Amino acid sequence: MSMGIYLFCLTPASPLRSITGTGIDGEQPLFIEVVGDVAAVLSEVNLNDFSGPAAQEKLEDLAWVAPRAFRHEEVVMAAMEHGPVLPVRFGTVFSSLTAVAEPLRQRQDVLRKFFQDTAGKKEWTIKGYVNLPQARARVAAERLAAEKDQLAELSPGKRYFLEQKIKGAVDKATSSWIKGMGEEIGKYARETSVGFSECRLQSREVTGRDEEMFFHGALLVPDGSVAVLERMTDDWNKHHAAQGLQIDLYGPWPPYHFAPAL
């Protein structure tokens, strides 16, 4: 069996000098390699699991990937309990400790700055959902109410055509209104964070929800501001629930969306 080195994450060398547990295979122990001011959380791994034709088949098998990806996340979260952490993508494997250490030596300044910038902060995710039928019905009702007097003065035939024209504009108006709601969420999200990253919207097949996702953002939030963010989220939902809107807050996570490219 040819063994390689699996990298989970990077942290400041102090205070994380040791770690317990096993790697993604549940067998090889975790260990720390300190390079300058940076500690790398590592374990040995079978290289054949990540390189070659057999590896490709495994990496396309959700039953094989899922428990290992979950273990990867567990290790990163455990390291985060000790201080700032730079999470590394699942499946990052090196041929040797030397191969791990060299890029870390070259990027000490970048890593030190990242750990300074993220100390006492965590990533939180906000996802916004809209009940489209409810939102469309609300917009249509508002449009028809605004034209109530004009509609009352028209003959039945002309009134019918104007009603259809109004309803035809509802989808466009609904999209514009939802966009405005997303901008409103983004504004308050930035007010409660020191960093914001717009994320890709997810389909209903991915979220498993009937509602459509219309907002998805990652926030870098100081630990002392979390209570404010949670309160603002609750207040926003209370105010907009009748409009078919809801936002959900998830976290805390390692700062995946704010990590420097290495």
Q: DSSP characters for 159-204?
A: HHHHHHHHHHTHHHHHHHHHHHHHHHHHHHHHHT-SEEEE-----H
> Looking at residue 2, what is its pLDDT?
85
> Looking at residue 55, what is its pLDDT?
84
Predicted confidence (pLDDT) at residue 146 exceeds the cutoff of 70: no
Predicted confidence (pLDDT) at residue 159 exceeds the cutoff of 60: no
At 15-64, the pLDDT tens digits run: 766 788 999 999 999 999 999 999 999 999 998 888 888 888 888 889 99
Predicted confidence (pLDDT) at residue 165 exceeds the cutoff of 80: no
Distance between CA atoms of residues 57 and 64, nearest Å: 10
Distance between CA atoms of residues 209 and 16, nearest Å: 40
Predicted confidence (pLDDT) at residue 157 exceeds the cutoff of 70: no
Q: 167 vs 13, which has greater pLDDT?
A: 13
Predicted confidence (pLDDT) at residue 143 exceeds the cutoff of 80: no
> Looking at residue 136, what is its pLDDT?
83
